[in-house]
């Protein structure tokens, strides 16, 4: 099967991983809306949450752990958890993923959610999340 996130999970395509457990992997979104924008994906291929809703409980511990890691290490003031399901919703990669989007007090509110922060240094953010900076 030709799936981008399966390839990332297999290590065939590089990613900036921030968390992993038996059921899920979390890595930085390559095109973040806000610093620390992360995707949590089930290790098994699940197309979307509408077709296999039980997958949500499988990745829930990873969503919880990664949310805490991101907010603590990056000093975020809040966090959006977003799951697109189906092309109409905006889903573009058809391997289930939860977007975890840390939010900062200088750019609050839903309207600012998808206003991309400029010039996010992914490697620097990754080091901060891993506690290396």
Active centre residues (catalytic): 97
Residue 45 binds which of ligand AMP, Zn ion, none (CB < 5-8 A, kind-dependent):
Zn ion
Interface with ligand AMP, residue 31, by CB under 6 A:
yes
Which of 20, 21, 44, 45 is in the footprint of Zn ion by CB under 5 A? 45
Residue 95 binds which of Zn ion, ligand AMP, none (CB < 5-8 A, kind-dependent):
Zn ion
User: Could you give the residue ranges of the DSSP H alpha helices within the chain?
Assistant: 4-10, 55-74, 122-129
Q: Please tell me what DSSP assigns to residue 3.
A: -
Residues 36-75 as x/- pattern, contact with ligand AMP by CB under 6 A? ---x------------------------------------
Q: Which residues pair with 17 in a beta bridge?
A: 27
Torsion, CA 122, CA 125, CA 130, CA 133, rounded to 10: 120
Among 34, 53, 51, which residue's Cα sits nearest to residue 102?
Answer: 34
Q: Which residues bind Zn ion (CB under 5 A)?
A: 3, 5-6, 45, 95
């Amino acid at each position: 099967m030709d799936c981008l996130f399966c390839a990332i999970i297999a290590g065939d395509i590089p990613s900036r991983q921030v968390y992993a457990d038996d059921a899920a992997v979390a890595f930085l979104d390559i095109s973040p809306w806000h610093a620390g924008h992360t995707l949590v994906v089930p290790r098994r291929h699940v197309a979307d949450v509408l077709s296999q809703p039980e997958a949500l409980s499988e990745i829930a511990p990873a969503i919880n752990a990664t949310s805490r890691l991101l907010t603590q290490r990056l000093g975020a003031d809040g966090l959006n958890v977003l799951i697109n399901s189906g092309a109409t919703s905006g889903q573009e990669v058809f391997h289930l993923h939860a977007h975890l989007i840390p939010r900062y007090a200088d750019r609050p509110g839903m309207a600012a959610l998808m206003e991309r922060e400029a010039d996010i240094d992914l490697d620097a953010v990754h080091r901060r999340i891993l506690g290396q900076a």
